[in-house]
Amino acid sequence: MANPFTFEPVADNHPAGSEIGLALDKSGNPSIVFSDLQTGGLILAQRSGGIWNLDSVGGLISGAARPCLAIDSQGNPQLGYQDKASGNLLHAVRTAGRWSFTTIPTRITPGPTPFGGAGNVAFALHPGRLDTQSRDVAYFVYVDLVTDGLGFAHTGTIGPTPVVVEFDPNEKIKFAGPSVAFDGSENFFVGYSSIFPTGAPQDIISVRSKHIVDIEKGTFSDPTVIESSQFLNVRRATSIVQTGSGGCLAYFDMASKVLKASVSSFGGSSIETVATNVGNVVTPSAALKAGAFRIAYADSDAVKLASRSPSGTWSSETVEAVSAGTPSLIYDVGGTANIAYVANNRIRFARRSE
């Protein structure tokens, strides 16, 4: 039998509805970023010695937009998010106790300004284990609000920025829900969905993935179409993780109420059912535990954790029997599960050694 989860309240008086971000430092200490729904102010919570300390970031995030968090190799927190006032993509970094903010150019078509608004922000820091010059460079993927195309930008010096991930020159196809991940060889992958209006009752929606082919030229691969149908409804964020031999792209089909995972390994791939009859509108959070895939999600009655067996079978267990917002899941190097979510007007943190 698996060990039970332990639970900690992180912050009170926080109604459900906003997204949160979870990250671990090199020692496995967790940090959580979330927003005050009244003001839009970003707050960073960091756990040290079993105590959660809160830090007001100073930035204002747009509505219920997703704040993205990573801890760099020096232990500094870095954020990517959509600015409430301008709609632009902001990159925030805290060094020596002070926050600095940079507006990231995101316009992927010619225009009078390099900024035009960025939604659905996804964010990761380059690990820099192999390419040490790129260590801690911030990689962003987002929806360009001028064109509804998918864009990529970075804070490094190699290669152009921003560039197109995918864009419909006729501006009919809209893109949504990007997620990003590096694999063990430091290749950069993107999962996302596309929405094509047919004029009929149902749009054609597809789930796709791409990867960077040449960072110096700013080029991405052709899209891999995982699933495409008028009977598919994927409008929430995807979640992607990668290993050296494959990956897992999790997404929720609102039409069938099925949580799915596209699992690839050694050149082959399959769409697997993670959970059926999900009673919530789910944004999944995929993670790796010693090369195995795990997915956290919030059903209508509980926060749940789905685990994949070596044979490809998924099983779900209840983390906490509460109605909750979107969870964020990460495993540390020792195999400890870390999950953050909003429940009962509190930011909650659950942990279990496995």
| Paired tokens of 98 | 């002070």
Residue 6 lies in a domain: yes
Q: Which residue has the tokens 């990460």?
A: 330
CATH of the domain at 307: 2.120.10.70
Bridge partners, residue 141, by sequence: 122, 152
3-state SS, residue 202: coil
Residue 212 lies in a domain: no
Contact 339, 20 (CB under 8 A): no
Contact 233, 246 (CB under 8 A): no
DSSP code string of 147-170 = TTEEEEEESSSSS-SSEEEE--TT
Q: Which of 66, 118, 77, 93 is nearest to 239 (CA)?
A: 66
pLDDT at 235 (0 to 100):
87
Give CA torsion, residues 247, 252, 256, 257, to 10 deg.
120
Distance CA 251, CA 296 (A): 11
Q: How many domains does the chain have?
A: 1
The one-digit pLDDT tens for each residue of the chain (354 residues) are 578 999 999 988 766 656 899 999 999 999 999 988 778 899 999 998 889 999 999 989 987 788 999 999 999 999 999 999 999 999 999 999 999 999 999 999 998 999 999 999 999 999 999 999 999 999 999 999 999 999 999 999 999 999 999 999 998 999 999 999 999 999 999 999 999 998 888 899 999 999 999 999 999 999 999 999 999 999 889 999 999 889 999 999 999 999 999 999 877 889 999 999 999 888 999 999 999 999 999 999 999 999 999 999 999 999 999 999 899 999 999 999 999 999 988 899 999 998
Distance CA 332, CA 27 (A): 9
Residue 268 burial (CB < 10 Å; 0-12/13-18/19+)? exposed
pLDDT at 37 (0 to 100):
73
Bridge partners, residue 349, by sequence: 8, 340
Residue 217 lies in a domain: no
Residue 153 lies in a domain: no
By residue count, the chain amounts to 354
Q: Which of 212, 177, 181 is nearest to 193 (CA)?
A: 177
Residue type for position 18:
S
Residue 320 lies in a domain: yes
Q: What is the DSSP letter of 332?
A: -
Residue type for position 40:
G
Distance CA 154, CA 135 (A): 12
pLDDT at 299 (0 to 100):
95
Helix (H) / strand (E) containing 339: strand 336-343
Residue 174 lies in a domain: no
pLDDT at 17 (0 to 100):
59
Domain that holds residue 294: 1-15+243-354
Q: Which residue has the tokens 């919570």?
A: 45
Residue 74 lies in a domain: no
pLDDT at 64 (0 to 100):
75
Which residues lie below 8 Å from residue 112, measured CB to CB, with a gap of 6+?
none
Residue 157 lies in a domain: no
| Paired tokens of 209 | 């993935």
